[in-house]
Structure 1
């Protein structure tokens, strides 16, 4: 309820744990039956959009902005994150600016995702790399 008062777009069935940090609620959209787990850090100066049936596990860091290192004053650059539907992002993963995670993907624990993740894939490591195709039964 409080998040909605500050502009977040949440479906009634979504779940956000009380320990989640959200920098800008007005830049957050969460689809039906999705959740942000305990101590997720949502640094969303840029928009973060999360689809349906998606789990963002504990202590994951979502970073939707960066700085332009080509300019001497390092101005802030907003770089939205799009996380599709049917996704599981495991514990303590880092999702970087401008990343798009395709539907039904899995991001392994402590992975560092700085490039887009294809739908129906499992990625892990630092930087995150393709592990295998996800086959849903």
Structure 2
């Protein structure tokens, strides 16, 4: 996936940020998800995993994703064992978004792997990957920005906003996200 030069395409004036092939793939993807998955009941995770894989996502056989979730570009999504993306979550996968094993992104959250260069007069699109570590939790209505790594076992509290990395086994809350306390490590039990 290559990002077009905003100066050449005049994206600030409505021109494209991605080439035609990329835009067509996303259009076909959006139509397929709308018709075949967006309305499906929660237990149909296997069907939604299958559809995401057909469009290039790397999804483990135990990952769960809901029909009301929006995945912008499936080839940039990777979900480990028992990873979850909750209902009505926007997975703005302009760059890689990786959820390791047992990572949870709760409902109505935003994973934003793209932004614009605000100092560029052409408002050039920029992307950076998001990495959500093993056993990390992004709570409901939280926002994770481009280039953020959420460490293993870290928690971003409900409504929290993270535009910087979160340390492992640490709880964060607020806007911008600030350390609240350490989280007890859970190295035993399922998935260890």
Range class of TM-score, shorter chain: over 0.9
User: Would you say how many aligned residue pairs link Structure 1 and Structure 2?
Assistant: 137
Show the counterpart of 1:71.
Answer: 120
2:115 aligned counterpart, secondary structure: strand
Match status 1:58 vs 2:84: no
Q: 2 CA distance for matches of 1:61 and 1:131?
A: 21
TM-superposition CA deviations, 1:67-104 (whole Å, max 9, x none)? 11221101111111111100111100000111000001
Match status 1:29 vs 2:81: no
Q: 1 CA distance for matches of 2:78 and 2:126?
A: 20
Show the counterpart of 2:138.
Answer: 89
1:48 to 97, 106, 126: 97
CA-atom RMSD in angstroms: 0.8
Q: Which runs of 5+ in 1 are unaligned?
A: none
Match status 1:132 vs 2:181: yes
TM-superposition CA deviations, 1:21-54 (whole Å, max 9, x none)? 0000000000000110110100111110110011
Larger radius of gyration: 2
Runs of 4+ aligned structure 1 residues displaced above 3 Å come to none
2:126 aligned counterpart, secondary structure: strand
1:111 to 154, 160, 166: 160
Match status 1:15 vs 2:64: yes
Scaled by the length of structure 2, what TM-score is found?
0.70
Q: Which runs of 5+ in 2 are unaligned?
A: 1-49, 187-192
Scaled by the length of structure 1, what TM-score is found?
0.97
1:136 CA displacement: 2.8
> RCO (CA 8 Å, sep 6+): is it higher in 1 or 2?
1
Q: 1 CA distance for matches of 2:87 and 2:104?
A: 11
Q: 2 CA distance for matches of 1:105 and 1:8?
A: 24
2:75 aligned counterpart, secondary structure: helix
